Amino acid sequence: MKQILQNLGNGETLLADVPCPRRGAGLVLIQTTRSLVSLGTEKMLIDFGKGSLIAKARSQPDKVKQVLQKVKTDGLWTTLDAVKAKLETPIPLGYCNVGKVVESDLGSGYSVGDRIVSNGPHAEMVVVPQNLTAKIPDSVSNDQAAFTVVSSIGLQGVRLIQPTLGERIVVSGLGLIGLLTVQMLRAHGCKVLGIDFDKRKLELARQFGAETVDLSSGQDPVKVAEAWTDGVGVDGVLITASTKSDELIHQAATMCRQRGRIVLVGVIGLNLQRADFYEKELSFQVSCSYGPGRYDPNYEKAGLDYPVGFVRWTEQRNFEAVLGLMAEGKLVVDSLITHRFNFDDALAGYQAVSEKGAMGIVLEYAEDESADSEKRQRVLKVGNTSIGEKTNDPAVAFIGAGGFTTRMLLPLLPGEAIRKTIVSSTGVSAAHAGEKFGFENVSSDSSAAMADPDIDAVFITTPHNSHAAMVCEALDAGKHVFVEKPLALNHGQLEQVTEAMRRHPDQILMVGFNRRFSPHVVEMKKWLLSNAGPKSIVLTINAGAIPGDHWTQDLNVGGGRIIGEGCHFIDLARFLAGSAIVSHQAMPMCGGDGRLGDCVSIQLGFADGSIATIHYLANGSKDFPKERIEVFSGGKVSTCDNFRKSLEIGGKRKLKTSSQDKGHSAELEAFISSVRFGGNWPIPAEELLEVSRVTIEIAENVYESLANHS
Task: Pick the closest to residue 272 from 291, 259, 286 (CA basis).
Answer: 286
Whether residue 177 is contained in a domain is answered as: yes
Whether residue 605 is contained in a domain is answered as: yes
Residues 188 and 261 in one domain: yes
**Range of the structural domain that residue 30 is part of:** 2-145+333-371
Whether residue 304 is contained in a domain is answered as: no
Whether residue 297 is contained in a domain is answered as: no
Give the torsion sign (CA, 165, 286, 547, 408). Answer: positive
Residues 547 and 458 in one domain: no
CA atoms within 13 A on the CB side of 681: 18
Whether residue 272 is contained in a domain is answered as: yes
- Cross-sheet strand order for the sheet of 379-381: 379-381, 441-443, 418-423, 395-399, 457-460, 480-483, 509-511
Buried residues in 40-75 as b, exposed as e (16+ CB within 10 A): bbbbebbebbeeeeeebeeeeeeeeeebeebeebbb
- CA distance linking residue 629 with residue 535, whole number of Å: 13
Q: What is the pTM of this model?
A: 0.87
Residues 126 and 158 in one domain: no
Residues 450 and 391 in one domain: yes
Residues 662 and 519 in one domain: yes
CATH number of 550's domain: 3.30.360.10
CATH number of 129's domain: 3.90.180.10
Whether residue 302 is contained in a domain is answered as: no
The CA R_g of the chain, rounded to the nearest whole Å, is: 29
Residues 135 and 162 in one domain: no
CB 147 within 8 A of CB 39: no
CB 103 within 8 A of CB 28: yes
For residue 245, what are the contacts with CB-CB under 8 A and spacing of at least 6? 268, 269
Whether residue 311 is contained in a domain is answered as: no
CB 521 within 8 A of CB 576: yes
Q: How many domains are there within the chain?
A: 4
Residues 464 and 579 in one domain: no
Report the Cα 268 to chain-centroid distance in Å: 25
Give the torsion sign (CA, 24, 28, 33, 39). Answer: negative
Looking at the DSSP bridge assignments, the partners of residue 264 are 239, 286
Q: SS3 sequence, 297-315?
A: HHHHCCCCCCCCCCCCCCH
Distances in Å between the Cα of 69 and the Cα atoms of 21, 41, 85, 122, 558 are: 36, 29, 18, 36, 26
For residue 708, what are the contacts with CB-CB under 8 A and spacing of at least 6? none
Buried residues in 555-570 as b, exposed as e (16+ CB within 10 A): bebbbbbbbbbbbbbb
- For strand 611-617 and strand 536-542, is the pairing parallel, antiparallel, or unpaired? parallel
How high is the pLDDT of residue 116?
98
CB 652 within 8 A of CB 643: no
Domain boundary among 286, 317, 347: 286
CB 5 within 8 A of CB 91: yes
Task: Pick the closest to residue 398 from 374, 418, 375, 376 (CA basis).
Answer: 418
Residues 589 and 615 in one domain: yes
List, for residues 190-202, the tens digit of each pLDDT value: 999 999 999 999 9
Domain boundary among 252, 269, 286: 286
CATH number of 247's domain: 3.40.50.720
Angle separating helix axes 315-327 and 148-161, nearest 10 degrees? 110
Neighbours of 181 (CB within 10 A): 30
Whether residue 324 is contained in a domain is answered as: no
Residue ranges of the chain whose pLDDT lies below 50? 388
- CA distance linking residue 651 with residue 710, whole number of Å: 48
Residues 562 and 658 in one domain: yes
- CA distance linking residue 169 with residue 210, whole number of Å: 10
- CA distance linking residue 522 with residue 540, whole number of Å: 18
Residues 493 and 610 in one domain: no
How high is the pLDDT of residue 82?
67
Residues 246 and 343 in one domain: no
How high is the pLDDT of residue 353?
76
For residue 662, what are the contacts with CB-CB under 8 A and spacing of at least 6? 514, 515, 518, 643
Residues 406 and 365 in one domain: no
Neighbours of 452 (CB within 10 A): 19
Domain boundary among 460, 486, 511: 511
- For strand 337-342 and strand 2-6, is the pairing parallel, antiparallel, or unpaired? unpaired
